[in-house]
Amino acid sequence: MRRSVFFLWLSCVGLCVLANLSVFGCAGEIGNQLPEVVYMDGGTSQVPDNSTVNDKKTSNSENSTPDQTTQPEETAPETTADEPAKPVYFADVKPFLQEYCAKCHGGNGGLDVLKYKDASHRLNRPPSTATPTPVEFWQRSFDLIEKREMPKDQPDAMDVFESYRQGFALFKAWKDAGFPETAQGSTTEDPNKGKEDPNILFPTTTTCKGESALPARIWRLSVAQIRNSLEDIFGASSKLPAFTLSETNTGGLIGGFKNGAKEQTLTSVDVTTLVQTFGTYSAEVLANVAEWKDCLAATGDACVRTLATTYGRRLWRRSLDKAEIDKLLLGFTELTAEADRKTGLSYVLERMLVGKEFLFRSELGTPEAGKTDLFRLTPHEVASYLSFFIWQSVPDDTLLDAADNNQLQTLAQIQQQVDRMAKDPRGKRGIITFFYDWLHLHLIQDVNKDGSMFPEVTPTLRQELEESAKMFLSYLIDQKGTLRDVMLSDETFANASIGSLYTDITAQDAELQRVKVDTSKRLGILLSPAFVFAHAGTTSTGFVHRGVFLLEQMMCKVFPSPPPNVNEILAEALKKVDPTKLTQRQKLEQLHSSNGTCNSCHKLIDPVGATFELFDPIGRYRTKEGDLAIDPSGKLLDFGDGLGEIPEAYTNSTEFVQKLASAERFQRCFSMKFYTYSLGKRPEGANNCSLARVHETLQKGGFQLLDLYKAIFQDENFFLRKTNPTAP
């Protein structure tokens, strides 16, 4: 009974401590003072009946942010947009419209918000026979944006918010001026000059013009980072139950990634999940970790203080002060008296795990001398960045010692740590995690497959395919492989069961082994069973999905959302064709070419989707679709965006991958993707010297995988963060 009361109380504590972090999501309000941690007061285990409780024993250190030992008492000053000193014209707001509106309303047979007078669409106006004037149209557009009804995907990540807020401020100034248009563009200096889309102007170190600091933010640990951290600290003998956490579902993914680089919250369901998970895990630790077992068998609280000191430092990525340790011991003492020593010791561990200090890592920094809007990362924030970037886990004692001694203040010091950490067995985690996220290999487990059509698909097969991809990447890292090797390797990892299913792979052992592939059919990661399995549908090959994914992720071609009635259009068109006489490619090309709105995008998408038709819905190689021969040849049209050339004409999927791997556009896109993943921020064009340095560093080293870490730390701007942005 007492144990259940403890868990009920801890769940309430978790809600009080963590659920309030939702202010870091859509509102964008990262303050320097985080929600106060709630503890039992006076030994009572009564559950509070409101969401916040005052704790008279709370010390100043209790309000510290994750990864920081001290934090200014004042909240960070908020930025406010200054009113433009000069008139604002249509050309001034076009960058805002391009970024947040043109994806859905950028032409393609519909409204084009990049044209001032294209106001023939009413944009959710009540039905009317009159075409609105441009001023009426832009007023209505402003109203919808101000009410957050547009854009459809509201930005919620800190990296997006600052540019969004500034753009909206310009839009408002334009409204106040009466939405004027000027001939030949604007006479006002464009505040977004130098921030061109890198798809239009890819930066170099000779043309870049500096850049703004990264946004201040707080990152929630991912499930994988939590699991890695606990295994690194407590060992593999203590088993952490499987669990999931919610993901931010507004604003979309940043550059296609879901790696936690954007601010995320913990819902009440998440908190309950964590309390239950850590409750089970604490029992594992007390049963399997020698120091905790010994303390459970001991008397007094001396060993408890030692455990709180040593393990707390690793979990919270900094040393705990006396007040924090005293609070942990207070909870231990009271729960031991009320229940038993096991309950008290479990509390100490679970309190360290369920707190914001473990679950969130900060990049808030401390005020930069002489600056009102810049903050410099603390040494412990730098340590956490390095460890969660490279190891996907907590810092080790060496890294924490460096932070304690202010030895993470220069790029040279950071590079020294990067070299050391990359040589560690955990050094492959960050690279593998990037590729796993970039290629969306999580779909191996997530995508449904029709059991009656594909009885071969079992949980075991899914696990083997996932492990095969990870072992392939791990092997290439060990061999000092390059991006080109990832794309064009003639090897994979397979076992007898995979070999029997994918007949172009010869594998006879029960365990996954490195084997050769038939290079006329497969090359590298994109043609591996794992990838083509993941990027197919329940019963279909995912023709359009494969085409869009490869163009967006491999070539950084951004497409607008399809028309809302696309399914109805296709269903009606399909009634006019005989599906038994046409391949999927022929059907879709016929449908798309007959519709101008669809064809503007699908003339680019379909040639790529078609070449991957050589792989069925579970990734088996084929040359026929039923009795009909598959035509995998294709040629991409020029994207016309300046990012670089695209693959030339190709006859099949292996030739497509070969030409893709050699294309400058692919290499630039890769650098953009890795930049976005690593820094949690979309790259800007000519204004972004960091992207230029990342790309040129990787290019100089032939895109060697082990160079990925070093490429990120190229300038002092890494240490700086902007004032916390606020909503418009």
Q: Give per-residue pLDDT as tens, 54-93.
A: 333 334 444 567 776 544 333 333 334 444 456 788 888 8
CA distance 587 to 235: 55
CA distances from 620 to 473, 514, 580 (A): 21, 19, 21
- The answer to whether residues 25 and 248 touch, using CB atoms and an 8 Å cutoff, is yes
Handedness of CA 583, 587, 593, 599 (dihedral sign): negative
Domain-ending residue, one of 123, 144, 176: 176
The string of pLDDT tens digits covering residues 17-35 is: 444 443 332 222 222 223 3
- Rounded to 5 degrees, φ, ψ at 109 are 90, -5
pLDDT per residue as tens digits for the range 590-607: 877 777 667 788 888 999
Domain that holds residue 7: 2-75+263-347
Q: What is the spatial distance between Cα 357 and Cα 346, in angstroms, rounded to a whole number?
A: 18
Residue 644 and residue 511 in one domain: yes
CA 661/CA 673 separation, integer angstroms: 15
- pLDDT, tens only, 418-469: 999 999 999 999 999 999 999 999 999 999 999 999 999 999 999 999 999 9
- pLDDT band for position 188 (cuts 50, 70, 90): low
Task: Tell me if 606 sits within 8 A of 612, measured CB to CB.
Answer: no
> What is the C-alpha separation between 594 and 248, in angstroms, rounded?
38
Beta-carbon contacts of 314 under 8 Å, excluding residues fewer than 6 positions away, are 233, 394, 395, 397, 400
Residue 195 pLDDT: 59
Which residues fall within 8 angstroms of residue 174, CB to CB, at 6 or more apart? 88, 89, 90, 92, 93, 138, 180
Tally of domains within the chain: 3
Q: Per residue in 551-590, pLDDT tens?
A: 999 999 888 777 666 777 777 777 777 777 889 888 888 8
Query: In this predicted model, which residue has the larger pLDDT, 249 or 583?
Result: 583
The better pLDDT of the pair 599, 627 is held by 627
- pLDDT for position 326: 96
Q: Are residues 538 and 459 in the same domain?
A: yes
Q: Are residue 126 and residue 269 in the same domain, yes or no?
A: no
Both 474 and 558 in one domain: the answer is yes
Q: Has residue 59 been placed in a domain?
A: yes
What is the C-alpha to C-alpha distance for residues 662 and 427, in angstroms, rounded to an integer?
27
Statement to judge: residues 518 and 548 lie in one domain: yes
Quote the longest CA-to-CA distance of the chain.
84
Higher-confidence residue of 725 and 387: namely 387
Burial status of residue 193 (CB atoms within 10 A of its CB: 0-12, 13-18, 19 or more): exposed
Which three-class secondary structure string do you get for 638-690?
CCCCCCCCCCCCECCHHHHHHHHHHCHHHHHHHHHHHHHHHHCCCCCCCCCHH
Closest to 555 (Cα-Cα) out of 435, 649, 668: 668
Same domain, 68 and 168: no
Q: What is the mean pLDDT of the chain?
A: 81
- Measured CA to CA, the distance from residue 303 to residue 542 in angstroms comes to 58
**Does one domain contain both 481 and 508?**
yes
Q: How far, in Å, CA of 275 to CA of 281, rounded?
A: 10
Region 498-504: mean pLDDT is: 93
Mean pLDDT of all residues in 504-517: 94
Residue 670 located in a structural domain? no
Specify whether 539 is located in the same domain as 632: yes
CA distance 52 to 671: 45
Local structure of 20: helix, strand or coil? helix
- Residue 83's SS3 state is coil
Task: Give the C-alpha separation, 433 to 443, whole Å.
Answer: 14
Whether residues 26 and 151 fall in one domain: no
In this predicted structure, the answer to whether residue 191 has a pLDDT above a threshold of 60 is no
Q: Is 50 exceeded by the pLDDT of residue 385?
A: yes
Region class of 471: left (phi > 0), else alpha (psi between -120 and 50), else beta: alpha
Domain assignment present for residue 280? The answer is: yes
Residue 135 falls inside a structural domain: yes
Dihedral sign computed on CA atoms, order 201, 203, 208, 214? positive
Question: What's at 48, amino acid-wise?
Answer: P
Whether residue 397 is predicted with pLDDT greater than 60 in this model: the reply is: yes
Residue 571 lies in a domain: yes
Domain end, chosen from 347, 375, 398, is at 347
Residue showing tokens 């170190």: 205
**706: in domain:** no
Whether the per-residue pLDDT at 333 is higher than 50: the answer is: yes
Q: Is the pLDDT of residue 723 over 90?
A: no
- Give pLDDT, residue 644: 84
Q: Which two tokens stand for residue 334?
A: 């009271």
pLDDT band at 127 (very low <50, low <70, confident <90, very high): very low
**Is residue 465 in a domain?**
yes
Paired with 505 in beta bridges are: 517
Following DSSP, what letter does each residue of 154-223 receive, concatenated?
---SHHHHHHHHHHHHHHHHHHHTT----TTS-SS--TTTT---TTTS---TTT----PPEEPEEEEPPH
Percent above pLDDT 70 for the chain: 76
Question: Both 63 and 97 in a single domain?
Answer: no
* 399 assigned to some structural domain: no
On the 0-12 / 13-18 / 19+ scale of CB atoms within 10 A, 513 is middle
470 and 606 both lie in a single domain: yes
Q: Same domain, yes or no, for 565 and 617?
A: yes
- Residues whose CB falls within 8 Å of the CB of residue 369, separated by 6 or more in sequence, listed in order: none
Is the separation of the CB atoms in 57 and 39 below 8 Å?
yes
H-helix or E-strand containing 478? helix 459-478
Confidence of residue 725 (pLDDT cuts 50, 70, 90): very low
Tell me the pairing of strands 214-215 and 513-516. unpaired
Domain boundary among 152, 176, 200: 176
DSSP 519: T
Strand extents, DSSP E, 609-678: 624-625, 628-629
Helix/strand/coil percentages in the chain, nearest 5: 50, 5, 45
